[in-house]
Structure 1
Amino acid sequence: MTTGQLVEAPPEMPRASSTALNRTLVVVIIGSMMSVLDTTIVNVALRSLAETFHASLTTIQWATTAYTLALAAVVPTAAWAMGRIGAKRSYLTALVLFTLGSLLAAFAWDAGSLIAARAVQGIGGGLLMPVGMTMVMRAADSERLGRAMALGGLPILIGPVLGPLLGGWLLDATSWHWIFLVNLPIGAAATVLAAKLLRSDRPSDPSAAPKLDLPGLLTLSPGLALLLFGLARGGEQGDFGTLGALLPTLAGALLVAAFGRRALTARQPLLNLRLLRDRRLAAGIGTLALFTAGYFGSMLLGPVYWQQVRGVSPTEVGMLGAPVGLTVGLTLQIAARRIDTVSPRRLITAGVALGALGMLLTGLQVGVPDVAAWRVVGSAMLMGVGAGMVLMPTMTTASRDLPKDQLAAASTVLSINSQVWASVGTALFSVLLGTAGLDPAGFRTTYVIAAGVLALGLLPAALLPGRRP
């Protein structure tokens, strides 16, 4: 080997790393987009499904509830699964389960079979986000983590906006079967690409893999499922005081608290909550909790407002929401690149403030009878700018300096945090809207309260690092 060869060899390392990162992003984006779009499409189709299966809307809503409960039950196992069989095999398992659940749902013959199929989807969906996020964080170095997280998380932000548009079109142009059949080619492509593009990371010594913390699993998984179920029932009934909502909520909270105590004392807990001693991660989780509750929780308000107050069709609802999704996606790409070079505290607090302002303006607009549609959409786009500046940049900041062997636990905690607080926000605003009334004044009140929840995110955001990465 010559001296020239020795000098020119090192530059190959960044290119190899960049190739591995790009391959991981391709797989994660496709898988995440399939999962998020499916969830929002089904929400649009609930009324049509109830008519098809001659079931009540309350019964058919279990198709959504079953998915959420299965997802909540399996998310806590993500870190253990990655340690046991590797991230690649965990992700492949998730893709196969989600695609299989889609196939079963497409050929459901009654409400019960549809609900069971959606539970299978939920098991796969619960692993897709934390495992995908972990693979992206492992493949990216600190200088490119912001860009990588932005691309990997894009489906989570734009899916809830594009999903209703696609769902409305599929229902109008085809049949309900296609809201599930559309997942089959996407799932098959994602599975093939994952098998070919992802590097194998199966533990070389299976005996050294972490053991399953069974007591932790038996407290956290049912605890999250009961908590989310209670919140969903309270939101549907418009009252958290009923036994059907209060008992599961309290039981779930107690089980989650019991898990928290065990996680801080056990030698090998299901999730290492000692990570929360890291100020950056704790501040990021606090910021995301409040912003997620306000932003994702308020997403139910727009479709209900447009259909209930303005009388537009599901397809038109999707079209009105599309500009917001494009705004979020564009802002996210810019902000996520900037988070690698600027003060996280300044960028994220500015985003929280803009999001709260956009939410407040949206509330003031919808409170005016027959207000011009562009004014409501414009206010929501400002809120979208704030969301793009907060969600993925905060996740990047929270996990940037963690050791590689703790990334699986961190991504699982972040996923649980988002799932729980999105459900809290949805339930809260469902109850508030039902109490305030389905009229312009009621929507204005609910949006203003949502703006206050977003603004509370300024408190933990102020604890984020003030220096550049």
Structure 2
Amino acid sequence: MTTQQQLQQTDFSLKKILPVLLSVALGMFLVILDSTIMNVAVPQLMSTFNVSLNEIQWVITAYTLALSAVIPLAGWFSDRFTAKKMFIVSIILFVVASMLCALAQTAEQLIIFRIIQGLGGGMVAPIGIAMVFKVAPPEKRGSIMGILGLPMLLAPILGPLLSGWLIEYINWHWIFLINLPVGVIAFFMARKYLPESKPGHGMKLDVLGSILAPIAFASLVFSVHEAGTNGWLNNWTLLSLGLGSITLILFIWNELRQKDPLLELRVFRSRTFTHGIILAWMNQIALFGSILLFPIFLQQVKGLSPMEAGLYVIPQAILSTIGINIGGKLFDRYGVRLVAILGTLSLSSALFALTYLNVYSSGIFIMCSFAFVGLGQGLTMMQINTHVLRSAPKELVSRVTPITTSMQQIMSSFGITITTGYLASQINNLPSQHTIEQVGNAFGQTFWITFAFGITALLLSLFLKDSKGGKR
């Protein structure tokens, strides 16, 4: 075969897979955009429904918990009903739930509809990535899977801007209604281009694990929320903490006994894996616990409009994108340790600077601090996750992804709940005639919590051992 013929064959393979790739990427973009579009909308939703930050944060927390609940089930549903059908059903459920969110009349209704939305959106990424991986030529998998990272890069940039524009010039309902046209396109593309497959019956569903896991994690997140609001000795705090602890112990016991567990916990026997995933958790809590605070501070303390708040967080998204590119190259050449140190150093330094945040902080200071949080995010998230996957025992690698993806969502929920709960308690403890300066200082004090998690991540990265990557 001539070189020209080989090139034509490669060209043909890429053209053949492109519709599948675009279908999956659009579905992922839809779900990720909805995650990033919410942060700027929080102050508007607080005003619309006349609720506190402590209450409205459940609009985001409930969504991420719902995502984490269904991610481990994606493999079983794909095997039982085929990947294409489940991808399409997930898109439909997500779009229908988005319409319900737009029609919500109370904060409670919005939270319930966001849970349904999360249940739909949770399977889109794991099912889509698995389909693309199967149809991609082996020699092209790296670059093709990299294209699927585009939604992760574009959504954080477009989300805050789009949210700010829709809220300021139309109304908050459109942050959900915008999902309808995108979802319809994603539906028809998936129906036409995604490959067909036959349902299998090989995987056995871990029913008990599927019940215990959501109860355990939701109860523990709720206990942290109640502790931030009413203290650790409050009856609801103790009750939810006790329920969460008992069900978590039962869940772990059940998983270690199962032949086909919901989450393969035996992988934690690897010290390298355990070290890496704990680092990822600390990083996740620090990141998402702080990111939600940015647009709230800008609108409620600095008095910016939603559109202006969206513009302020663009440098964060841009440096995150740059960080992903630089981090990937450094990871390939030097391994994970250097990248993790640089990323967590950028993150923790920025979070330390934000502990001095107040009503008089300049726009340059705020944007630069946000930007270096984004740089830390870009340098660390994908690279640490790759390290965690590489460090897993070979026989368990295929079963590690549900742990990393679902726990990522759970730790995001913990981060959001911890910081919003603490911020709410700080503001509630202010005098009834408090000033905007005191509210601004409360935000700065809250960043000490995220800094503590960030510096813990930095310390863990110093002792990180490379698994297989890196040309030393």
Shorter-chain TM range is: 0.7 to 0.9
Contact 2:40 2:295 in 1 (8 A): no
- Asked if residue 452 in structure 1 is aligned to residue 418 in structure 2, the reply is no
Match of 2:403 among 404, 413, 435: 413
Superposition map of 1:379-398 within 5 A: 379-398=369-388
1:225 equivalent in structure 2: 218
Contact 1:217 1:270 in 2 (8 A): yes
Instruction: Give the structure 2 partner of residue 465 of structure 1.
Output: 467
Cα distance change on mapping 1:19 and 1:283 into 2, 3 Å: farther
Cα offset for 1:210? 0.9
Aligned equivalent of 1:339: 331
User: How far does residue 293 in structure 1 lie from its aligned partner after superposition?
Assistant: 0.6
SS in 2 for 1:457: helix
Partner of 1:29: 25
Partner residue of 2:73 out of 72, 77, 80: 77
- Aligned pair partner of 2:124 in 115, 124, 128: 128
Of 62-71 and 448-457, more deviation after overlay is shown by: 62-71
How far apart are residue 408 of structure 1 and its match? 5.9
CA drift of 1:445 comes to 3.4
Change over 3 Å in CA distance of 1:467–1:114 after alignment to 2: closer
CA 1:71–1:278: 2 relative to 1, 3 Å: same
**Which of 301, 307, 311 is the matching residue for 2:303?**
311
Alpha-carbon offset, residue 274 of structure 1: 2.2
Residue 166 of structure 2 is matched in structure 1 by: 170
1:276–1:307 CA distance, 2 compared to 1 (3 A): same
Structure-1 separation of matches of 2:139 and 2:388: 15
Q: 1:455 to 1:59 in 2, by over 3 A?
A: closer
Give 1:261's match in structure 2, choosing from 246, 250, 253: 253
Structure 2 portions without partners, runs of 5+: 428-437
State the partner residue of 1:374: 364
Report if the CA contact (8 A) 1:144-1:340 is conserved.
no
The one-letter code matched in structure 2 to 1:391 is M
The 8 Å contact of residues 80 and 270 in structure 1, kept in 2 or not, is answered as no
Answer whether contact 1:280 1:465 (CA < 8 A) is retained.
yes
Residues 436-466 of structure 1 show CA distances to partners (whole Å, capped at 9, x for unaligned) of 5554543333324422311222344313337
- Of 248, 273, 279, 1:287 maps to 279
Alpha-carbon shift at residue 331 of structure 1 (Å): 2.0
Equivalences for 1:20-169 in 2 at 5 Å?
A: 25-46=21-42, 48-49=44-45, 56=51, 63-64=59-60, 66-108=62-104, 113-135=109-131, 151-153=147-149, 155-156=151-152, 159=155, 162-169=158-165
Cα 1:161–1:359, aligned 2, differ >3 Å: closer, same or farther? farther
Alpha carbons 2:390, 2:468 under 8 Å: kept: no
Name the structure 1 match of 2:185. 189
> Structure 1 counterpart of 2:173, which letter?
H
Residue pair 1:70, 1:225 contacting (<8 A) in 2 also: no
Unpaired runs of 5+ residues, structure 1, are none
Match of 1:348 among 340, 351, 356: 340
Would the alpha carbon gap of residues 301 and 311 (structure 1) be closer, same or farther in structure 2, given more than 3 Å must change?
same
Task: Work out whether residues 99 and 177 of structure 2, in 8 Å CA contact, stay in contact via their aligned partners in 1.
Answer: yes
Stretch moving more, 11-20 or 421-430 = 11-20
**Residue pair 2:69, 2:406 contacting (<8 A) in 1 also:** no
CA distance in 1, matches of 2:349, 2:272: 25
Structure 2 letter corresponding to 1:468: G
Separation in 1, partners of 2:34, 2:84: 22
3-state SS of 2:258 partner = coil
Counterpart of 2:467 in structure 1: which amino acid? Answer: P
Q: Which range is displaced more, 263-272 or 246-255?
A: 246-255
Q: Which letter maps to 2:299? A: Q
Q: Which amino acid aligns with 2:221?
A: L
- Cα distance change of structure 1 residues 285 and 62 upon mapping to structure 2, 3 Å threshold: closer
Partner in structure 1 of residue 419 of structure 2? 429
Q: C-alpha distance in 2, partners of 1:416/1:91?
A: 18
Deviation at 1:228, TM superposition (A): 2.9
Whichever residue aligns with residue 165 of structure 1, its letter is L
* Correspondence for 2:431: none
Residue 252 of structure 2 aligns with an amino acid whose one-letter code is G
Give, as a single letter, the amino acid of the residue that structure 1 aligns with 2:63: Y
Are the equivalent residues in 1 in contact too, given 2:42–2:296 (CA < 8 A)?
Answer: no
108-117 vs 407-416, which moves further: 108-117
Compare 165-174 and 137-146 and name the one that shifted more. 137-146
Q: Distance in 1 between matches of 2:413 and 2:44?
A: 24
Is the 2:39–2:292 contact (alpha carbons within 8 Å) kept by the matching residues of 1?
Answer: no
Number of residue pairs the alignment of both structures matches: 458
Q: In 2, Cα distance between the equivalents of 1:468 and 1:440?
A: 44
Q: Distance in 2 between matches of 1:85 and 1:232?
A: 37
Query: How far apart are the structure 1 equivalents of 2:74 and 2:345?
Result: 33
TM-score of the aligned structures, taking structure 1 as reference length:
0.83
CA offset digits 1:335-364 (Å, max 9, x no partner): 234434442222222222222122223334
After alignment, is 239-248 or 165-174 more displaced?
239-248
The amino acid that maps onto 2:237 is: A
Tell me how far 1:166 sits from its aligned partner. 1.9
1:214 is matched with 207
- How far apart are the structure 2 equivalents of 1:409 and 1:34? 26
Going from structure 1 to structure 2, the CA distance change for 1:408 and 1:92 (only over 3 Å counts) comes to farther
Distance 1:308 1:249, change over 3 A: same
The equivalent of 1:358 in structure 2 is 350
User: Structure 2 matches for 1:199-210, cutoff 5 A?
Assistant: 199-203=195-199, 206-207=200-201, 209-210=202-203
In the other structure, the counterpart of 1:272 is 264
In 1, Cα distance between the equivalents of 2:169 and 2:469?
Answer: 52
* Post-superposition offset of 1:76: 3.2
User: Following the alignment from structure 1 to structure 2, what is the Cα–Cα distance between the partners of residues 213 and 46?
Assistant: 36
Q: Which moved more, 1:190-199 or 1:144-153?
A: 144-153
- Residue by residue over 1:186-221, the C-alpha shift from the partner in whole angstroms, topping out at 9 and shown as x without a partner, is 112222223334333444xx33x2111112112112
Kept after mapping to 2: 8 A contact 1:94/1:125: yes
1:98–1:408: structure 2 CA closer, same or farther, 3 Å change rule? farther
Greater mean alpha carbon deviation, residues 18-27 or residues 320-329: 18-27
Deviations 1:272-296 (A, max 9, x none): 2223345554343222101001011
Paired letter, 1:216: G
Decide whether aligned partners of structure 1 residues 389 and 23 sit closer, same or farther in structure 2, where only a CA change above 3 A counts: farther
